[in-house]
A and B are shown apart, each in its own frame.
Chain A
Amino acid sequence: EVQLVESGGGLVKPGGSLRLSCAASGFTFSHAWMIWVRQAPGKGLEWVGRIKSKAEGGTTDYAAPVKGRFIISRDDSENTLYLQMNSLKAEDTAVYYCQFTNHAPAFVDYWGQGTLVTVSS
C-alpha cells in the first residue's frame, strides 16, 4: 500500500525557514517523480514543484512564486522527500501536500494528508 506522510509543518515568522519531509513507502521511491502541492486556507490547489528520479537526472522544477526560495530534494536511501523553504512570506501559509504520480506505463496518483505551514509574526 502506498503511503505518503508529511511532517515538519508549524508556525514560523516571516523571513524564516522551515524544512518539510515526506516519508514514502509502498512503491519504488528511487524511480519516482515526486511533487509538492500547496493549498492556502480556503483557496485552490497550487503546484509548488517537482523532482525527477536520479536516473532521469534528479532535476527540479518550481512554480514562479517559490523559485529561488524553495528547494526540493530527496534521499532515496531513506525514501524521503524534502521541501526546504527559505525567506518565508505570509502568502506561503498553506497546507503542503506531497504527491507521487507516474504516467507510464500505468497512471498512478497518490497524495499525503498534508502538513500545515503558518507564516505569521
Chain B
Amino acid sequence: DIVMTQSPDSLAVSLGERATINCKSSQSVLYSSDNKNYLAWYQQKPGQPPKLLIYWASTRESGVPDRFSGSGSGTDFTLTISSLQAEDVAVYYCHQYYTTQWTFGQGTKLEIK
C-alpha cells in the first residue's frame, strides 16, 4: 500500500496569514499515461463528512474558494491556504487514488493562533 505522510500533524496560523500543509507519498502517484497526479485534498469539520477541495493535485473543486490551492507532483504535495479565514478551522487530509488500495494521510489539524 502507498503510505501517505502529512506534516505537520497540527498547525496554528493567525487569521489572514498563510497556512501550508505537506503530504508525502511512499511512491509516486503520477500516472505516466495521462500525466496526472492521483492525489486529492479533503477538509473535514467536526461532525461532518469530508469535503473535497482539490483533485488531480492542483484542480480546485467547484465552489471552493480560490484561497485554497494545491501543488506538487510525484511524491511531494502541498495544500496552501493563502489567507486563513475562521471557517477554515478543520482537519485536512491528503488522499491517493493511484493504486487499487486507496489511502489517506493521517490528517493535519488547522487552528487559529
* Chain A residues within CB distance 8 Å of chain B: 35, 37, 44-47, 50, 61-64, 97, 101, 103, 107, 109, 111-114
Q: A45-B50, A45-B93, A113-B49 are in contact. Are A107 and B56 (CB under 8 A)?
A: yes
Report the separation of the CA atoms of residues A62 and B104 in the bound assembly, to the nearest whole angstrom: 14
* Chain B residues within CB distance 8 Å of chain A: 1, 40, 42, 44, 49-50, 52, 55-56, 59, 61, 91, 93, 95, 97, 100-107
Chain B residues whose C-beta falls within 8 Å of the C-beta of A44 in the assembled complex: 91, 93, 104-107
Q: A97-B49, A103-B97, A111-B49 are in contact. Are A45 and B107 (CB under 8 A)?
A: yes
Interface of A is mostly: strand
- B6: nearest residue on chain A (CB-CB)? A44
B52 adjacent to A109 (CB under 8 Å) = yes
Report the separation of the CA atoms of residues A45 and B95 in the bound assembly, to the nearest whole angstrom: 9
Chain A residues whose C-beta falls within 8 Å of the C-beta of B42 in the assembled complex: 45
Contact residue among B55, B91, B95, B106 (Cβ-Cβ distance under 8 Å from A107): B55
